[in-house]
Structure 1
Amino acid sequence: MKILVIRFSSMGDIIYTTPVVRCLKKQLPDAEIHFLTKPAFQYIYNNNPYLDKLLLLKPELSDTIADIQAEKYDRIIDLHNNLRTTIIKLRTRIKSSTYKKQRIRKWLSLKLNLKLVPPVHLVDRYLKAVAFLGVKNDGLPIDYYIKKEYQLSELLPPSHQSNYIAFVIGATHFTKRMPNHKIINICRQLKHPVVLLGGADVKANGEIIAAALGEKIYNACGQTTLDESVFLVSKAASIIGFDTGLTHIAEAFNKPIASVWGGTAPELLGVQPYMVKDVLVAEIDLSCRPCSKFGLEKCPLGHFKCMNDLPETPITNFINEY
């Protein structure tokens, strides 16, 4: 059997497809498993031993459809369920199974502040799309394979090369990020050195935090590649992070994680830390939260209480246990 699994984006959603690919390959060892995604996210499946071939979405959908037809797949597992995947399935006429997004329930939950989406993790929702093949959840974490074995001495100063806390301060949207003053307050109460991680867009934030706390902080934001950042997360004693790709990737290493949520909510998306032994989900219950599924550029009400009023002590107490 030859199977194509499809998920185009985004980083967090694709990382949660890795248990599906692993379970398919291990439980159907004679099957050939391929995965189709956007070129920007191919790094998630580079070096993955459970994947036989990685296909990349081309600028013209017709070219991608031609690639799919040439492979002669027996099944398509559609884990994206959007217009493009619908066109692919219609044009190729390959038997398919599709992930159910529960769009109406999510929309009503968001707009009316109702809890209509069952608290089922995205991985388990994805796995329902392959249940017809007899494939079951193996109970293991997500997979991420670092491209090379880096040396901590190449990436961190001597003061931060052991027993450090990785704090992922980046996130695509403002309403997912904690304000600098809150991060400073939390870091001040932590027992161990802190390495700040994120892209160039939060490098200035990292500089502000480091200036306030001095040698306790090492600002790696904008200085490391994503793969190097993942390596640093894998070697950390514990992790603090927001609803962003690097925090979700960190789950692959089963380290203690304080998962901090602002304007988005894990139960709506089904993306709370998966198969991690020690987890704290930090969030507060507000009538205006969640304000969006994926984050916004500013708080719609202007007060940003979901982050500003978030208690710091549970986070610091949790991390200081390790």
Structure 2
Amino acid sequence: MKSTRRMRILLIKPSSMGDVIHALPVVSAIHRHYPDTEIRWLLQPAWRMLVEGNPAISETVLFPRDKFHGPSGWLRAISWLRILGDWKPDMTIDLQGLLRSALFARISGAPRVIGLSDAREGSTLLHGERVKVNRHDHAVTRYLGVLDHLGIPQPQAPEFALPESHLPAGFDTTSPYVVLHPYARGKGKSLDEGMIRAFIRGVTAQSEYRVIIVGRGKPITDFPQNVEDWSNRTDLLELIGILRASSFTVSSDSGPMHLAVALNSSKTLAIHLWSDPLKVGPFFGSSFVWKNGKTSPVSGLDDSWRGIGRPPTHQEMKALGQFAVAKGMN
């Protein structure tokens, strides 16, 4: 009797927010080409809201790494690893490219284990199939290289299928606003208080736009009346709701920046201090990048933008506030 079992694919991309967002076009393209395929996504619980409900994803496999510490954590880890191998996928795609993710791929028991050529920590030794990518390319481009390996056509426009959202209780939608996300996990990526206040002055100098501050970081007090600090107060779906309705968003190089780009590419500017905007910046050419005192659409970037940068001056942050208002009005 012929088996009716659907093809099963396990995608491993546990973190971080930006990396999970960058992998969304891969699962969308696979689902579009093979709609009957069952795709599960292994990721950390913090990012489950980004993929649960996605029509391409049948189920999430949560990797609660914080619960695996200590002697009792080892027992929980063993139980979790047993569950990982029980599903028996036909193929596992490791987009994380680290030793741990490659081990997970092997433990899954999939006959095909696929990784990228720029994987680290010796993880390529555990990948049965290696997709050749250019390590200088943008993450989205590198991840989409898996499609060529699988014989799936590249999408004309990568699809970032993000969840439905809602605004936090008490959020005012009656007047326009620009969003500032000043925080970042990477060392030296966040904007300091002086830069934040200079940006606010730039917005208020020529408009009645509100400034909405979002993200996770050290709170700042005594803002002007037209500034609302929603930092440390929103979940992911509320953050998506705020970014969706924003007239323009300015962000540090961070996960929420990539979220804003996926939601409204032409209304987002990323501030890059030392990171490479061609590799980890906004993906779409219609977005904007500030680095080393210059602002450009992503479509206008070249290799001269890859080098080490510097923090913006207060005058430059004020100018970025004015830029956000001008673009938000278009």
For the aligned pair, the TM-score class normalised by the smaller chain equals 0.7 to 0.9
Residues 254, 140 of structure 1: CA spacing in aligned structure 2 closer, same or farther, 3 A cutoff? farther
Identical-residue share of aligned pairs (%): 21
Counterpart of 1:176 in structure 2 is: 189
Native 8 Å contact 1:254 1:275 kept in 2: no
CA distance in 2, matches of 1:102, 1:19: 19
**Which residues of structure 1 form unaligned runs of 5+?**
105-116, 292-304
Counterpart of 2:171 in structure 1 is: 156
1:163 Cα offset (Å): 1.6
Per-residue Cα deviation, 1:265-314 (whole angstroms, up to 9, x for no partner): 323xx22212363x2101118999649xxxxxxxxxxxxx4344883366
SS for the counterpart of 1:175 is: coil
**Which residues of structure 2 form unaligned runs of 5+?**
1-6, 69-75, 122-133, 294-303
Counterpart of 2:282 in structure 1 is: 273
**Which protein, 1 or 2, shows the higher relative CO under an 8 Å CA cutoff with sep ≥ 6?**
1
Native 8 Å contact 2:194 2:314 kept in 1: no
Residues 128, 283 of structure 1: CA spacing in aligned structure 2 closer, same or farther, 3 A cutoff? same
Counterpart of 1:215 in structure 2 is: 225
TM-score by length of structure 2 reads 0.76
CA distance in 2, matches of 1:93, 1:77: 10
Native 8 Å contact 1:8 1:38 kept in 2: yes
CA distance in 1, matches of 2:305, 2:257: 26
Matched ranges for 1:231-246 at <5 A: 231-246=241-256
Native 8 Å contact 2:188 2:273 kept in 1: yes
Q: Which moved more, 1:236-245 or 1:258-267?
A: 258-267
Counterpart of 2:269 in structure 1 is: 258
SS for the counterpart of 1:311 is: helix
The counterpart of 1:81, out of the listed 97, 109, 113, is 97
Per-residue Cα deviation, 1:203-233 (whole angstroms, up to 9, x for no partner): 22xx25x1xxx12211111232232122111
Native 8 Å contact 1:141 1:251 kept in 2: no
Counterpart of 2:87 in structure 1 is: 71
TM-score by length of structure 1 reads 0.77
Q: Which moved more, 1:94-103 or 1:72-81?
A: 94-103
Per-residue Cα deviation, 1:116-170 (whole angstroms, up to 9, x for no partner): x765221110111232222233213423213x5347xx3334xx64321011122
SS for the counterpart of 1:41 is: helix
Native 8 Å contact 1:165 1:193 kept in 2: yes
For 1:273, the aligned partner's letter is P
Counterpart of 1:30 in structure 2 is: 36
Per-residue Cα deviation, 1:14-42 (whole angstroms, up to 9, x for no partner): 11111111111111112111111122322
Native 8 Å contact 1:36 1:57 kept in 2: yes
SS for the counterpart of 1:312 is: helix
Residues 308, 102 of structure 1: CA spacing in aligned structure 2 closer, same or farther, 3 A cutoff? farther
Residues 174, 85 of structure 1: CA spacing in aligned structure 2 closer, same or farther, 3 A cutoff? closer
CA distance in 2, matches of 1:23, 1:288: 29
The counterpart of 1:144, out of the listed 162, 166, 171, is 162
SS for the counterpart of 1:215 is: coil
CA distance in 2, matches of 1:93, 1:287: 41
SS for the counterpart of 1:5 is: strand
For 2:52, the aligned partner's letter is N
1:242 Cα offset (Å): 0.7
